[in-house]
Structure 1
Amino acid sequence: MNNDKKDLNSQNLPQDRTQLMTLLNEQQVILDNAGVGICFVQNRLIQRCNRHYAQMHGYDGPEDLVGTNTLSLYPDKKQYLELGREAYPVLVAGERFQTERRMRRQDSSLFWCRITGKLVDTRHPDRGSIWIVEDIDEQRQASDRLKALTHRQQLILDHAMVGIVFLHDRQVTSCNRRFCEMLGYEQEELIGKTTRCWYPDKTRWDEAGNYYSKILSQGQSFRAEIQLLRKDGRTIWCDIRSKAINPDDLSQGSIWIMMDISERKASEKALQAAHDALEKRVEERTHALEQVVADLHREIEERRLAEERIRHLAQHDGLTGLPNRKLFEQRLEEQIRQAVAEHTQLAVLFIDLDRFKHINDSMGHHEGDILLKSLAERLRQAVANDKTLARIGGDEFVIMLPRVRSHREVEDVVASLQAALQPTVNIGLHELRISCSTGIALFPDDGLTPQTLIQHADTAMYRAKRNGRNRYQFYNHQLDREQLERVELENALFHALKHQEFELYYQPQVDITTGLIDGAEALIRWNRPGHGMVSPGCFIPLAEECGLIGEIGDWVLEQACAQMHSWKAKGLHLRVSVNLSALQLETPEFCHHLADCLSRYDLESDQLELELTESILMKQVDQTIQLLEHLDQMGVHLSIDDFGTGYSSLSYLKRFPLDKLKIDQSFVREISVDQDDAIICRTIISMAETLNLKVTAEGVEYPDQLALLAEFGCHQYQGYLFSKPVPADELARLALENHNEPNQTYDI
């Protein structure tokens, strides 16, 4: 009825208005049924749009968009303004503007669309514009996927190791780079050309075409090895494989894959020639063939032996020839399984050579290797055949003892090992005595796996070494607690350095002739909170192991310089000696740091004395001499600490710019009762006098020791006879009292 009423009303309207209404109804039908979005925009506000336009942007109908600014349909304001700047000049020129953009739906998702716009009236741009929008999101995605696929295919073609060419009517439509390289052409020289150019002659080209066209038309693949002609006239052998793109329609062309097999053909030809020559030689000289066969058998045997050597090297130590850790763990795992089956025990012995690192550093690695080989052979001879001896580290060995019945049995083995090492070892001019520390772990009580047993034996070995070396120790769980305490001590050491828990004590160095203090040795002390004083013998080796000794040494140097500056301000002038670590000397900035300390604390360089051990001097001798000469030029005094305990050579010693030797207290301790020690001390003092070096004796505790040292011509001493190490203020008091007392002299 509503339609009837509209018709009646339309009949009552003037004729021109009726036509207008008809036109508008027709336009509305077009808008509602259009397959594209249509929108009328004025001042960038939507005045009217069809349902497809609204739904395209995620709205239910046109009424949701009418009156809204088109800004909400753009991804952001920047693109909204950008399209306006691009479209306006085109539209006002009376032309149609078209572009592809991403637009925003109501749910904020973006989609690709093609946008076409035109002004309603170019003479009056303010009357708005008509825009037609097509959703091409799926089309764009498909296009992007196609481009990506095409790109990947092109990459495959460009980087393929074989030649690939597409033919249509025996003309090249496309080919990859490898194909062009094979035939010596540029790509543009081949595209559109026939395959005739790479056949030696037209007859062979025709024969090939007739042959493979029949095969391809049957839907089969064509494969052959043929000779092709390069651009430069040379021929190459190619392995060719081809297939029609569509066997039902050969007009669509074919794909050909080619591989250059010229080298293989040449090898086959050479092989065939060699084979022919060999057959001829067999016919002529049977004896020669027998010799060739014998040589072949010998080569096979050599290869077999070489493979055995390779396997041996992979499982054995290159220096000593003993099994390495990998082979030892394999054998240990096998013995563990056997021990489980037999309900027996086995033992793992972890052996570490005492003081080997010191010897190695002093004498050099070559001599150290000779020593290791000699000691390994002794251990090998001391171990029965049913036991496995292996080297798993620098001076570390492990032994597996199967079917152990008692601790006594293990102790007997350890005793035999220690006895085997007792005889001295002669390396060059040196006569060395070597002992070992041994840790013992038992299966199954101390571990169930090879790794655990080795680890626990290692832990026990460290305990044996701390107990005085040349000892053995069975593993127990108390050792784990000690190991934990060691880790805690290491952490506390880092904390101590960070929180200034260290302090310096000073032991006076006394002139033997005058009895006056003329120097002091700076000695580090650690007053650990909650534990009291920790012996340097406990934490200095640990600091060396964990790499803190360099920082601690720098701290000692800094504090000693600061203390000398403080004494200098009070009128006390003393030379202070500071012990250096190898790590400090290896630091490239050490000399610069030393000069900076002296400068900052306003000290003369000869107020400082640096003490080095023989093992430090003998590491990289030439480099060390260069560094010491630099220090000597700076005016710093240099001395060798613990002289006589290392293995330095006099030929090297005279090359070092030294000022002093310090006799180790182990020689001074029994100088008055042991003639050998007295001779050693006298010899060192005499040698030092020859080299124009001063001598300081360490550890002097009794007057008779001092009297002998004075008789031998020693210049200086330090030890409990005069004073133990004391804090800085106490040393200052001692020095003041000492210098105010009458001089003490010793008649020689």
Structure 2
Amino acid sequence: MADTPKPGSTPESELGSQHPESQRHDERALSGNLSNALVHENSTRRIASGNEAIDVLSRFVSAIEYTPLVAIQSIDRTGIVRFWNSMSTTIYGIPAREAIGRRLSDLLQHQDKEPEFADTIDHIWQTGQAVLPRDWQITTSAGANLWVYSTMFPVFREKKIHQIFCMDIDITLRKREEQALLALGANFRTLFDRSADAILLIEDNYFLEVNPAALTLFGYARKSDLVGRNSNDISPTTQPDGKPSSEKFSQMLELAHQNGNYRFDWLHVNASGETFWTEVLCTEIPIDSKALLYIVVRDIRERKHAEQSLQLAAQVFENSQEGILIADMNQRIVSINRALSDITGYTIDEVVGKEPQSLCVAMRDKAQFKTISDEVHAHDRWQGELWGRHCNGRGFPLWLSISVVRDSHRNVVNYIAIMTDISDRKASEEQMRHMAEHDFLTGLPNRVLLLDRLQQAIAVAERNAIKLALLFLDLDRFKHINDSFGHHVGDKLLQAIAERLTKCVRAIDTVSRLGGDEFVIMLVDVGRGEPISHIADNVLNAVSMPYSIDGNDFIITTCIGISTYPNDGTDMDTLIKNADTAMYHAKGNGTNRYQFFDDEMNRRVVERTLLENSLRSALKSSEFVLEYQPQMDMRTGQIVGVEALIRWAHPALGLMLPSRFIAVAEECGLIVPIGDWVMRTACLQAKAWQDNGHPLVVSVNLSVAQFHQKSLLKSIVDALQQAQLAPQFLELEITESILMDEAKGGIDTLRVLRNIGIRLAIDDFGTGFSSLSYLKRIPINKLKIDQSFVRDITVDPEDAVIINAIIVMAKSLNLTVIAEGVETQEQYRFLQAHGCDEYQGYYSSKALTADMFARQFLQPS
């Protein structure tokens, strides 16, 4: 969205320099512009119809915001200004930002008529009726003195007056002209004949003289057609309020007699019988013993139409079923209607002055907001589906249409947004889509949805160079159950199996029923082949557990065929066919078994099984060891801590790094006891160094499984107590994925650990999806920049920008920043120059055993 400066106020001296003829011409042009811009009645009936509604409101807002010569304001029941258009700024010299939110009486003083003005406003609030337009002499808070011709009318919301709108026209020059005409004497005839306004002289209610402009206005060819006729001849029998024209005109003349002059709106009729609205200025001129009436008549039918259209548009705005928001050129909310308050729960006072995107959850996403903003800037409109935010925090789907209102110079005046809560529609669509894409018996995705998800998964796997797997299941001897127990029992058995299968996989995977007793499981991002066999084992065990249905107990088994992408195929048909083929190979070898389509994968599965069996005895055999990598202070070069890293001294395969066995440990349920061993060993070692005069903070990684275990706090406290190590010397490293997956209970756990005195760090920061607002809620001490960003820091500008952003963000949250994987002097200098606090990596040292670490770093100085 483009920003456009607000129009500045025009000094009174500049207003005074405008020629009277020019001003009258502009006022007549104003009527046409305003009328063309405002809402027609037929269009308003279709305000909920998408783009038409936006176009209607754009014209409405453009009219009231940027209409030339008409100052438009609105006030609420307390007299507070809620709307102040550009011409109000121009005429009164008061910017909108200074007017909105203040009392109108503090901005505009009606000189000695202030009580009368207050009574007029009070009358509208009490009766709900508009008052006759009239002249007011104004002194503004900016020091200007001027005359305005003002029209005031109420706008209703749910049958109650919500606001009062005021439409003011600056008539200061006209006032001066009128006074000058009366004072010119000998030159009066020339001005009378040449005036662009219709002028009539009336004596005893009969026309004494009329000027050429009057003949044109009323459609007469000669003066004799009007002179000598009764003034009632150019008025209809009654006025719009139902009062007889003759009686009401007499009342207007009496007011002119009392005040010297009086201005009012009047319905006239021309020679063709056409009625039209005029503005009448009636001035009494005493001549000898008689009173001559000097009448100036101006055609205002288009202005009247504009006023009626404005009232109609304002009522449509307030009572539309669609939520409508109007923002100014600086993208700050100016007004919202009742429907938007109902949708979001916010009142107008709570949102005025704020940015519109605060009402939409998705628009807080900088990338998406930029996309929308670019589209609006390029095409002056955007529409689409977003996620709204209710004031109570509840999210809901909404359809949003945004449109830009520009002035004649293509400068942005306003932004308009129409919001529709589509929760019901989305729910209905979701129900229909679910029925079309899911199996009616089990509720699992059917073949249609499976193929759709499989196609998407293949595309993702190809783009990210990852693997996926298909498990094709066919129940063993299911026909026998249908034949023996009946199809109703068979259906319930299929439902029970579907429930068990769903529990065997992750939420990102898909379990589908193809039909009959065939199921397919799609596993995404499976990495190596080992996790696939682990899941296949779980599926076999789950399916083969006993069933009890309608008093019948039985056991059923299944065979599984497995194919993987890209090893066994790169398209849907090939993967499904190969998994089906592997399933038949499995059945050929018996029941309750699985078979990979790829023989090489089978070989790796055997190796993985051997590794798992060895891993189970590793703890008992004390095969694990810890190595320690120093963490260095960037400023002093001193060692401030160490990270404990596990190694497996495998009796046959030698020293193995965690990348070789941690995944297997997680899959077979050994990661928790291994993690507890690391915690205890690291605490004991830190205490030993401390007793030798080297107090160092030891950093230990927490796995997802450890973080989820109920005994986490107890195991940590036990490790500290066993080592007699103070909590401040233990630092726990937690990955972003743990934090983002955790609910409030996880944050509470972190707070307890922090309160104990344990230090907390986010490991591999930058590889997850943490947001700044989320980090503020988490009680952490340190961010650890992932080595994938450090590796190319001196050659990849994007990595350099990311690291700099992480450091700046951490500093704003008072967090320590440490970079891992620092291997070169160039990397070290870059991090040091950008304010990184600590580092670790081969630039200082590789990971060392406790003895080697002590000899290299902890020798007495």
State the TM bucket, normalised to the shorter chain: 0.3 to 0.5
Q: TM-score, normalised by structure 1?
A: 0.41
Higher Cα radius of gyration: 1
